[in-house]
Each structure stands twice: as structure tokens, then as C-alpha cells.
Copies of this chain bind each other. A is one copy, B any other.
Amino acid sequence: MFFEIDINGLVPVYEQIIIQIKLAIATGSIRAGERIPSVREQARRLAVNPNTVARAYRELQQEGMVYSNRGTGLAVADDAAALCQQWRLKYFRDRLASVLEDALACQLPSSELTELFQTLLEQKTPHNDHNKGETK
């Protein structure tokens, strides 16, 4: 449940926080019933203003991902994992679709895109397929 924030990016900080927490719930990094870091703690860790964290938490609450019991912090909702996994799929599908649409719209051949995709995927993946059991 540790992540970083790109303070200078296009995506608003509060939205980055929302996204990262949803992803953490989706991957099971935080489980239902567990508390998420307090507003002040999270703000300190991300080097960000508490109000910005509070806004992210408020929206997470409105979406039903977390709930609050006055004074005891915020905890992950019971159905949050399922919701976040759904959300995660849509999130990455939309991002991928956006890139593909733009690329195809300017006539990049799909063969070239596929090649690019595979090259990048190889670069980014840890590649621990062929050394199973060899990691001595």
C-alpha cells in the first residue's frame, strides 16, 4: 500500500491518490475491513497537503469504496475488492483503447503497433518465466 505521486503530471494529485488506492484494493494489497492510512499520515507520506488527501478520501467514500465511523478513520468496504477489480479492468482497457484509437487514426499500421507493444512488454516484464527454480 505504498505508492508515489507525480506532482507535476496532468492527472490531479487527488485523482492519482484515488486511482492508487483503488488499485491497491483491487490487487488485495488492502483488504475489506482494513483501515487506510489516516489523512494526515497519508499527506505526510506523499508530501502533499492534507486537504488534497481528504478530497481523495471523500470521493472514495462517495463511490462506496471506503466508509468512515467518526473518529476511527476510514476502512475498506466489504464489496470494494470486487468493485475495484471491475474498475481496474475498465481503467486499463480505456487507457489502452485511447492510445490505439489515436495511433490508428493517424495511420500507424496495426502491425507496427503490435510489434511496439510486444517489444515494450518484454522490456517491462520481469522475465522470471525461464528461470523458474533456477533463482537459487
* Residues of chain A having any CB pair with chain B under 8 Å: 7-8, 10-13, 23-24, 26-27, 49, 62, 68-71, 88, 92-93, 95-97, 99-104, 106-108, 110, 113-114, 116-118, 120-121, 124-125
In the complex the two chains form, is A106's CB within 8 Å of B8's CB?
no
**Which B residue sits closest to A62, measured CB to CB?**
B62
Check A92/B121 contact, CB under 8 A, given A8-B69, A69-B7, A70-B7.
no
| A interface secondary structure, majority | helix
Q: Do residues A116 and B92 form an inter-chain contact, with CB atoms below 8 A?
A: yes
A114/B121 in contact, CB under 8 A: yes
Q: Are B97 and A120 in contact (CB under 8 A)?
A: yes
Residue of B nearest to A24 (CB): B106
CB of A7, distance to nearest CB on chain B (Å): 6
From B11, B96, B101, A99 is in contact (CB under 8 Å) with B96
Closest partner residue, chain B, to A99 (CB atom): B95
C-alpha spacing A62/B26, complex, angstroms: 24
